[in-house]
Structures are given as C-alpha cells and as structure tokens.
Amino acid sequence: MGATENAELVRQGYEAFNAGDLATLSELFAEDAVWYAAGSGVLSGTKQGRDAILAYFGELGARSQGSFQAAVQDIVGGENHTLAIQQTRAENNGKTLDIATVISFVLRDGKVVEGREFFEDTAQADEFWT
C-alpha cells in the first residue's frame, strides 16, 4: 500500500475509534500489533497484540465516562510511517484533558502493526488518568 492508502486506513481507524466501533477497529489492526502508550502513568506502557490494544482503547473510554475523543487535525501518509496529529479531549472525575497529540503508525499489508503516542505534555496526560 502507498502513502495515500495508508492515510485513508488511519482516517478510517479514527472514525471507528470515535464512534466506538470496536469491530471495525479490530479489522484494522494486525493480530500481533504493538501499541506504545506514552508516559509513566497508570495507562502507559506497551500493549502487545490487537486484544490488548483494544482493551486499552476501552479503558480510555471507561475512565473518561465515554467522553474521550481524538479530534484529527491532519494525517500525513508515508510509505513507512503515517502520522496523525490530533487534539485529545476527555473528562475524568472533574478534570479536563485537552492536549495536542501525535501518533505514529506503521502499516503493513493494509493493517496497523504499530502505534506510538506522543503528547504535548506527557506529565499532564499522566496526571489526568490518576
């Protein structure tokens, strides 16, 4: 797949994520995909495999009482990496998260095989989830 197709696949993933469509998300991730959740907080760390990644996404929704949204600003498709620039917003126990985020995706054979999160302020994101 080329840069345009990779960008479209990531865009479909964002649409599915924000709609809570786990079935579509499951189809977009390779079974052995890896996700690197930034920071050192309770949700940070490496998620090994599609099921662990989907469980992490579910935890984001549960801990934010369903308010978590990833508002895509831009998607830059590449042959090896596709970058998504987003504004991450959520509410949790009276706290509000509104932070710029970049996720680097690696895609192979039409599936996401790796995702890496980068936050504008990792400490702020860590504190939000406590």
Quick check: 77 and 100 in contact, CB under 8 A?
A: no
The pLDDT value recorded for residue 1 is: 74
What DSSP assignment string belongs to 86-115?
Answer: EEEEEEETTEEEEEEEEEEEEEETTEEEEE
Q: Where are the domains of the chain?
A: 3-128
CATH 3.40.50.1000 fits 3-128, yes or no: no
Of 102, 86, 91, 82, residue with least CA distance to 129: 91
Reported as a single tens digit per residue, the pLDDT across 25-82 is 999 999 999 999 999 999 999 999 999 999 999 999 999 999 999 999 999 999 889 9
Q: Which residue has better confidence, 103 or 80?
A: 103
Q: How far apart are the first and last CA of the chain?
A: 39
The pLDDT value recorded for residue 79 is: 87
Extract the tokens encoding 60.
Answer: 């984001």
CB neighbours (10 Å) of residue 92?
A: 16
Question: What's the CA gap between 69 and 72, in Å, rounded?
Answer: 9
Reported as a single tens digit per residue, the pLDDT across 1-13 is 789 999 999 999 9
